[in-house]
Amino acid sequence: MKGSLKTTGAPSLEELHNSPAYPTNEQLRKGPIAIIECIEEIPCNPCEAACSRGAITVGENITSLPKIDFEKCIACGACIAACPGLAIYIKDYTYSDTMALLSFPYEYYPLPQAGDTVQAVDRHGKYICDGKVIRVQNPKSNDHTAVITIEYPNEYFEEVVSIKRIVIS
Amino acid sequence: MIETELAIVGAGPAGLSAAIEARRAGAEVLLIDENSRPGGQLFKQIHKFFGSRSHKAGTRGMNIGTELLRESKELGIQTWLNGEVCGIEEGHKLWVVRDRSRSEIVKAKKIILSTGATENAVPFPGWELPGVMGAGAAQTMINVNRVLPGKKVIMLGSGNVGVIVAYQLLQAGAEVVAILEAAPKLGGYGVHTAKVSRAGVPFYVSHTIKQAFGTDHVEAVEIVKLDDSFKKVPGTERTLEVDTVCLATGLTPLTELAWLAGCKFCYVPVLGGHLPIHDDKMHSTQPDIFIAGDISGIEEASTAMEEGKLAGINAACELGYIAPEEAEVRSREIWDSLNSLRSGYFGQKRRDSKVSILQKSEELISYFKAMII
Amino acid sequence: MCDEIICRCEEIYRSEIEAAIEDGAVTVNEIKRFTRAGMGLCQGRTCRRLVERILSEKTGIPLSEIQPSTYRQPVRPVRSDLIQEYNNKDQKED
Ligand SMILES: Cc1cc2nc3c(=O)[nH]c(=O)nc-3n(C[C@H](O)[C@H](O)[C@H](O)COP(=O)(O)OP(=O)(O)OC[C@H]3O[C@@H](n4cnc5c(N)ncnc54)[C@H](O)[C@@H]3O)c2cc1C
Ligand code: SF4
Ligand code: SF4
């Protein structure tokens, strides 16, 4: 496998675009959808059961790559905390004229608070732009995987996937 | 002296699963572990596990452990904690040191060895300095003892253990300065490396540690690039300031008791080196000794639990608690599940290796049969 | 290259192990007897595989053919009176 995942640790956009679960540019910008960055055959399938709409399929063979049916996905977010690989997030390009929305899994303390300004980062943890925390969801059923929702400038739509860890000094 | 029908050494996921199956069938079970708490590696695994839903995937390892413990308590399985099995003689007699203060002899009709694995070391000048430790040791410190081993950590090895422990060190509040990998490609699952990468941890493939510096503790390491034949490339050295070095360079099955018992071994690098030959019932080459889990090849908790069940069911069968036909049907179901766990890019190699071990065991059995005739 | 410790318990350096091989040691057991590598508190748990590797590199014997050093009970460090206690109990059985 050539490319970035096995040398830098994170998948490149090229690798993602070539994987079965990643949306096309058109699907990506249509409205809120779940995006799965799981491009290696590993024995894993909790994402499939997490989606009550049946939008995610792994299939009989549990090492198959997950696929997602964007017609069925309503961006409810139930799959985000269910994925042990923290590989699923939701993005919405249509949130406002200039701002996009991102809901992603986060397992560090302290958690950010709604209203906080945070540093949005790319797949290598590089600072890209500031974002604002809209919501922090951490119900018991998530089993300590909080789901953070931020808004950020939509010119960085595809790059941003997470935020910098908040370090108490 | 204590007598029991089935003694199980090691109360990790394999040993616990074996104990639960055998006890449920009606066998008298004694489960022995050297730690003050059963669960083996599971209680250190605070992350959500992979696997299929039937393997409790998506559940944190420690919660899988709690679940197994609850079951074993409900079944009233007799458990000796702080019990070190120091020896084994005549194929069925265990020497157990309890609470580090008294010796006890346990005579068992059947024995299951589920002792897990030990961490591999990599030597370099300075690796004896305090601050250099196995990744598993660092994981025990943060997740069991709640002590941060250091503030600035470098991880050697990018397999799942290295990447997961790096993630947990970040969660515990440390900074992970880098993850090094000697091979040109990262070893761990991509989803694991991606979450650490997202947290800003740089990966260096084709790199290793040349030496560690420090007076009474690690203060820095010198890293170096490796060429295609794993030779250090002069002039590519770089110094990184760290106070902790974690070695995540593989595990070796902990087989000392199996050697003592006279089990026959084979050498399978993919599964961690020398390991006892076993058949499809997890029977070793010794008549009354079964093995299960990492001792029979380094894999995962999910496979360890399945192998434990196999050993438990078949030991109970030989003790007369399960009819052979039933044991066979149930074993076959477990094999289906093991085969599905051992598939795909990462699993297939392990599956092929396991097949080669089973073949070796068949060859041995037919060899011995031929000798008798 | 500067020298490095291989057996941390007994503080045996790589150079000492290599010297033992040059002096004719061809098994891990012999290296253990020549140098004490693997005879410390951890009973070779840490250095056993490192010694096997050095032996393989120096002699050309493939790793798969190298016999690990012999295991003896007790496989854990125990107080010597507990060994006595075990032996007494064991004899009573026979
Ligand atoms: C960092 C890390 C992350 C992991 N992540 C995952 C994961 O996401 N999913 C997954 O499926 N697996 C994972 N694993 C692997 C999994 O933990 C192991 O494969 C599994 O624990 C093996 O089970 P076991 O029962 O064979 O051995 P262990 O869990 O190691 O248990 C063996 C027990 O035997 C005891 N013992 C050994 N010798 C003696 C003796 N002589 N006397 C008394 N007691 C003895 C030991 O102290 C121990 O308690 C991970 C492992 C590590 C290190
Ligand atoms: S966001 Fe909801 S509907 Fe969409 S895939 Fe995830 S669980 Fe299914
Ligand atoms: S749960 Fe996550 S890691 Fe597992 S297959 Fe689905 S997307 Fe991949």
For A38-119, where are the alpha helices, taking DSSP H only? 46-50
B87 touches chain C (CB under 8 A): yes
Residue A141 maps to a domain: yes
Contacts of residue B266, Cβ cutoff 8 Å, sequence gap at least 6: B274, B275, B277, B356, B357, B360
Asked if B274 is an interface residue toward chain C (Cβ–Cβ < 8 A), one would say yes
Higher-pLDDT residue of B173, B37: B173
Nearest chain C residue (CA) to B212? C4
Look up the pTM and report it: 0.94
DSSP B49: P
User: Does A44 contact B57 at a Cβ distance shorter than 8 Å?
Assistant: yes
pLDDT of residue B344: 80
At B350 the pLDDT is 92
| Separation in Å, CA of C64 to nearest CA in chain B | 6
DSSP A36-59: E---S--SB-HHHHH-TT--EE--
CA of A45 to the centre of ligand 2 (A): 14
Chains that touch C (3 or more CB pairs under 8 A): B
Per residue in A27-55, pLDDT (tens digit) is 999 999 999 999 998 888 999 999 999 99
Residue B369 is predicted with a pLDDT of 67
The CA A127 to ligand 3 mean position distance, Å, reads 26
Q: Where are the beta strands (DSSP E) in C1-94?
A: 5-7, 12-13
Residues of chain B with Cβ-Cβ distance to A10 below 8 Å are 193-194, 197-198
* C-beta atoms of A43 and B184 within 8 A: no
B341 pLDDT exceeds 90? no
Distances (CA, A) of B199 to A107, A126, A162, B109, B164: 11, 9, 8, 52, 13
The whole-chain average pLDDT of chain A stands at 94
Low-confidence ranges of chain C (pLDDT < 70): 1-2, 94
CA-nearest residue of chain A to B195? Answer: A86
| Confidence check: pLDDT of A1 > 60 | no
Residue C4, C-beta contacts closer than 8 angstroms, at least 6 positions apart: B123, B124, B125, B126, B127, C13, C14
pLDDT-derived band at B364, boundaries 50, 70, 90: confident
Of A32-46, A58-72, B44-58, B112-126, the range with the lowest mean pLDDT is B44-58
Q: Hey, which residues does B51 pair with through a beta bridge?
A: A44
Domain that holds residue A131: 5-163
Pocket of ligand 1 contains residue B59 by CB under 6 Å: no
Ligand 2 centre and the CA of A142: distance in Å?
15
Which residues are CB-contacts of B142 (< 8 A; sequence separation ≥ 6)? B148, B149, B168, B169, B172
Query: Which of B123, B252, B260 lies at the smallest CB-CB distance from C6?
Result: B123
Per CB-CB distance under 8 Å, the chain B contacts of A82 are 58
User: What pLDDT was estimated at residue A3?
Assistant: 65
Residue A50 Cα to ligand 2 middle (Å): 8
Is A9 close to B60, i.e. CB distance below 8 A? no
β-bridge pairing B244-247 and B238-241: unpaired
Ligand 1 pocket residue status of B85, Cβ below 6 Å? yes
Residues 6+ apart with CB under 8 A from A117: A130, A131, A132, A133
Q: What is the pLDDT of residues B181-238, one digit of tens each?
A: 999 999 999 999 999 999 999 999 999 999 999 999 999 999 999 999 999 999 999 9
The residue behind tokens 């679960």 is A21
Question: In Å, how far is A44's CA from the nearest CA of chain B?
Answer: 4
Q: What distance in Å separates residue C93's CA from the closest CA in chain B?
A: 8
Residue B309 is which amino acid?
Answer: K
- Which of A7, A61, A84 is the closest to B57 by Cβ? A84
Cβ distance A90 to A77 under 8 Å? yes
Query: What is the reported pLDDT for C94?
Result: 63
The distance from CA B141 to its chain's CA centroid, rounded to whole angstroms, is 18
pLDDT digits (tens, 9 = 90+) for B1-29: 899 999 999 999 999 999 999 999 999 99
CB distance A57 to ligand 3 below 6 Å: no
Cβ contact C4–B118 (<8 Å):
no
Helix boundaries (H) for chain B:
13-25, 61-74, 135-143, 160-172, 190-198, 256-260, 301-318, 324-341, 344-372
Q: Is A168 a residue whose pLDDT tops 80?
A: no
Give how many domains chain A has, as a whole number.
1
Which tens digit of pLDDT belongs to each residue from A97-108? 999 999 999 999
Query: Which residues sit opposite B78 in a β-bridge?
Result: B30
**Which helix (H) or strand (E) element contains residue A129?**
strand A127-137
* The pLDDT of residue A69 is above 80: yes
Query: By the 8 A CB rule, do B233 and B260 touch?
Result: no
Q: Does domain B121-247 have CATH number 3.50.50.60?
A: yes
Distance C94 CA to ligand 1 centre (A): 36
The CA-CA-CA angle for residues B69, B74, B79, to 5°, reads: 60
Asked if B195 contacts A125 with a C-beta cutoff of 8 angstroms, the reply is no
The residue to which tokens 């011995």 are assigned: B368
Neighbours of A38 (CB within 10 A): 24
Question: What subunits touch chain A, counting only 3 or more CB pairs under 8 A?
Answer: B
Contact indicator for B130, B218 with CB cutoff of 8 Å: yes
Q: Rounded mean pLDDT of B91-108? A: 95
Beta bridge partners of B154: B178, B245
Whether B121-247 and B2-118+251-372 are alike in CATH topology: the answer is yes
Q: What type of residue sits at position B194? A: A
Instruction: Kindly give the number of the ligand 1 atom that is closest to the alpha carbon of B251.
Output: 53
* % pLDDT > 70, chain B: 99
Q: Which residues are bridge partners to B27 per DSSP?
A: none
Tell me the angle at which helices B324-341 and B301-318 cross, rounded to the nearest 10 degrees: 170
CB B15 within 8 A of CB B31: yes
Neighbours of chain B (3+ CB pairs under 8 A): A, C
Tell whether A168 is covered by a domain: no
CA distance A102 to chain B (A): 15
Q: How far apart are CA A35 and CA A28, in angstroms?
A: 9
Is there an interface between C and B (3+ Cβ pairs < 8 A)? Answer: yes
Q: CA quadruple C82, C88, C92, C94: dihedral positive or negative?
A: positive
Kindly provide the ipTM of the predicted complex, given to two decimals. 0.96
| Chain A residues close to B344, C-beta within 8 Å | 41-43, 63
Confidence of residue B367 (pLDDT cuts 50, 70, 90): confident
Q: Quote the tokens at residue B185.
A: 């490609």
- Nearest chain B CA: its distance from A27 CA (Å): 23
Whose atoms come closest to the Cα of A47: which ligand?
A: 3
Give the pLDDT confidence of B287-321 residue by residue, as tens digits: 999 999 999 999 999 899 999 999 999 999 999 99
> How does the average pLDDT of chain B come out, rounded?
94
Is CATH 3.50.50.60 the classification given to domain C5-93?
Answer: no
Contact B20, B71 (CB under 8 A): yes
- Which pLDDT does position B372 carry in this prediction? 61
Which residue CA neighbors atom 8 of ligand 2 most closely? A51
Q: Which of A62-71, B160-169, C2-11 has the largest mean confidence?
A: B160-169
Pocket test for ligand 3, best of A38, A64, A67 (most atoms within 8 A of CB): A38
- The verdict on C6 touching B (C-beta cutoff 8 Å) is yes
Look at residue A74 and tell me if it is in a domain.
yes
Looking at chain B, which residue has its C-alpha nearest residue C93?
B1
pLDDT tens digits along B240-265 = 999 999 999 999 999 999 999 999 99
Nearest CA to ligand 2 atom 6: A79
pLDDT score of A60: 85
The residue type of B343 is S
Q: Residue B196 corresponds to which tokens in the numbers above? A: 């650490």
Pick the CATH number of B2-118+251-372 from 3.60.70.12, 1.10.10.60, 3.50.50.60, 3.40.190.10: 3.50.50.60
